[in-house]
Structure 1
């Protein structure tokens, strides 16, 4: 979970609500974000797994792409087929650069015949809007960034809590979306590995809705620290760490998100470079890593083999409260990147053994119908 450091940070629309909830704040992707609440990161993490965690993720950006050629524009920008999406269906995909590097990973939902909602990561939002606008200039469509409050409600009690708050989304299954009210947008998705929802709404309506959710005893505010440990246990990538503009989907292990016909014949940005990467094969692979002992191994830590040769790097690392041991992800040279293979890291002068571990560390519990 990279920190942007000091400087002028943007504030969430509901910043005062988080201050009243006694959040501890920190900088992330240019925003002053709630990192933890009085419950604490360990209990916030476990509360999400057992009940329902409420996250304010309004730092992320909703972008509407609409018009007669909206699907064609998105097909140029991303390696997927927007025309194949049913109404109300969501798709995890990427904005690739010409070298097939991942400029951002996004979720696109078809909300009408010629209208799509793209959810982009906070640190890339401005660049994504500019990139999509440049692509759209060649097509009959419009790109509109939307100002919304965006909540994620995650965990086994999420559906019931939403219904009690007056928003019944029980008909949705994983990776489906809907516009339940004017100006609102919701998907059954998330970043924790749990069943849950992401709900966007106009800023003036957000405080009342948050109060309704928090009136449920199963719902508690959860901050960015637990969001990071939850997604890491779930084996989900953090852009800027596990995937970057210098990482392609082949080595990232994300080719499942690109349909085979598109790999072969697609004309999206970066298509030729991606085909070359597929043909050459990955020199390194993204893997799960289980450190020995109790000490986490953090991002940026080099990985070495038994002979001291550098064979990779940790890109995300921390402690997994649900599994009871440290968890990490990183890139390892293809040859040693097999389950149960051991690599090593130097942590505070000590050599720590890490085993290559299957992802995810905790099973996904998405509602798939």
Structure 2
């Protein structure tokens, strides 16, 4: 047996494991789980999602529920987002910070009628749970929804396919969520995702997810898509990936995620690491996350050092070929004084210098279904 097979055997199976394998998915370990990396090929799956609708299994992510009076205020001691004023059925991107303002995870928070729902990254969910349990008051209940699967349907035709299966979801706008019923099965549906496209994330009881995935895959717009294409899609959309572009050594200011800190929180502070973060808001961070265009066809991968002349001024944190752009792109951190669009730098790839330039993100326009946006 190969070493890869041993690793795959050690990875935990998720509820759709057999469903993926029956459709020819190439399975590899990711965040401790056996996950579909690709079906027919990353390029084809990426372009299908941009043009139609891709079905992703993201059941490795953590789904948490917070209950109790003052749960929103308690969460604000750890997250820099405005949770207290979040309306029912509305969601917000936020960050879990440490005492130095470093990013422990990025996550989504949604207020529901009687509780607060949070989705955290799969590779960090148990660490997140530990941090949350340590810092939240005892009267705030936290429930890890281990019996719920999570799937994402992404792309311009996602709404056509999903509304046929679950009528009513078409009424949601970007960053709105609600409860729906599918043949007696309760669903929690948000109009959100991590591809830059319109789309939905659907929390489904694990014992019903295979039948639900089958119903979606039966729609003409839908194909199952692996994590390989999910990565290239989010990179084109300029969206950071935790563990690569985000980690405890980076603050929200350096990561260019200050949009996740609403005005009241910037004024009041009161969250973990606020002293460091608010000081950087006023004075700037030493390094900034930027997009990078790449000259030529050679992909620039994670870990490649970035140079300005002979001085190393940063590092690539994500990179690869962008199917929708038709060229290699990358994301990384550079000295703040160089984080200006058009700044010419070089990346070192296998001992060779490759010209790159700081580029605005996203690399492809976001196409979210926003309320009030022109049709």
Under a length normalisation based on structure 2, what TM-score does the superposition of the two structures give?
0.94
Partner of 1:184: helix, strand, or coil? strand
Instruction: Name the structure 1 match of 2:117.
Output: 117
Matches within 5 A, 1:132-147: 132-136=132-136, 138=137, 140-147=139-146
Matches within 5 A, 1:74-85: 74-85=75-86
> Are 1:207 and 2:210 an aligned pair?
yes
Instruction: Name the structure 1 match of 2:322.
Output: 320
> Are 1:352 and 2:354 an aligned pair?
yes
Greater displacement, 27-36 / 181-190: 181-190
Instruction: Name the structure 2 match of 1:237.
Output: 240
Distance 1:30 1:330 in 2: 26
> Are 1:186 and 2:185 an aligned pair?
no
Instruction: Name the structure 2 match of 1:26.
Output: 28
Instruction: Name the structure 2 match of 1:16.
Output: 18
Report the alpha carbon displacement of residue 366 of structure 1 after superposing the two structures with TM: 0.1
Choose the corresponding residue for 2:257, options 254, 271, 276: 254
Q: Is the 8 A contact 1:162 1:168 kept in 2?
A: no
Q: Is the 8 A contact 1:69 1:140 kept in 2?
A: no
Report the alpha carbon displacement of residue 167 of structure 1 after superposing the two structures with TM: 4.2
Instruction: Name the structure 2 match of 1:40.
Output: 41
Greater displacement, 9-18 / 73-82: 73-82
Report the alpha carbon displacement of residue 142 of structure 1 after superposing the two structures with TM: 0.2
Q: Is the 8 A contact 1:111 1:179 kept in 2?
A: no
Report the alpha carbon displacement of residue 257 of structure 1 after superposing the two structures with TM: 1.0
Partner of 1:277: helix, strand, or coil? helix
Choose the corresponding residue for 1:291, options 294, 303, 311: 294
Distance 1:183 1:211 in 2: 17
Report the alpha carbon displacement of residue 348 of structure 1 after superposing the two structures with TM: 2.3
Q: Is the 8 A contact 1:318 1:326 kept in 2?
A: yes
Report the alpha carbon displacement of residue 16 of structure 1 after superposing the two structures with TM: 0.4
Partner of 2:119: helix, strand, or coil? strand
Q: Is the 8 A contact 2:343 2:358 kept in 1?
A: yes
Q: Describe the shift of the 1:245–1:183 C-alpha distance in structure 2 as closer, same or farther (beyond 3 A).
A: farther
Q: Is the 8 A contact 2:15 2:210 kept in 1?
A: no
> Are 1:160 and 2:163 an aligned pair?
no
Distance 2:239 2:119 in 1: 16
Report the alpha carbon displacement of residue 183 of structure 1 after superposing the two structures with TM: 4.6
Q: Is the 8 A contact 1:288 1:358 kept in 2?
A: yes
Instruction: Name the structure 1 match of 2:130.
Output: 130
The aligned length equals 362
Q: Is the 8 A contact 1:101 1:248 kept in 2?
A: yes
Q: Structure 1: 5+ residue runs without aligned partners?
A: none
> Are 1:273 and 2:276 an aligned pair?
yes
> Are 1:96 and 2:124 an aligned pair?
no
Distance 2:138 2:170 in 1: 36
Q: Structure 2: 5+ residue runs without aligned partners?
A: none
Q: Is the 8 A contact 2:150 2:204 kept in 1?
A: yes
Deviation sequence 1:103-157 (CA, Å, 0-9, x none): 0000000011x41100000011001112222222x25320000021111000011
Q: Is the 8 A contact 1:70 1:139 kept in 2?
A: no
Q: Is the 8 A contact 2:255 2:288 kept in 1?
A: yes
Distance 1:159 1:60 in 2: 23
Partner of 2:43: helix, strand, or coil? helix
Report the alpha carbon displacement of residue 252 of structure 1 after superposing the two structures with TM: 0.7
Instruction: Name the structure 2 match of 1:264.
Output: 267
Distance 2:256 2:83 in 1: 22
Q: Is the 8 A contact 2:269 2:278 kept in 1?
A: no
Matches within 5 A, 1:329-344: 329-344=331-346
Instruction: Name the structure 2 match of 1:69.
Output: 70
Q: Is the 8 A contact 2:56 2:151 kept in 1?
A: yes
Distance 1:225 1:293 in 2: 22
Deviation sequence 1:265-308 (CA, Å, 0-9, x none): 121111122123223411111100011111110001100112x1
Deviation sequence 1:81-116 (CA, Å, 0-9, x none): 22201100000001000000000000000011x411
Q: Is the 8 A contact 1:253 1:285 kept in 2?
A: yes
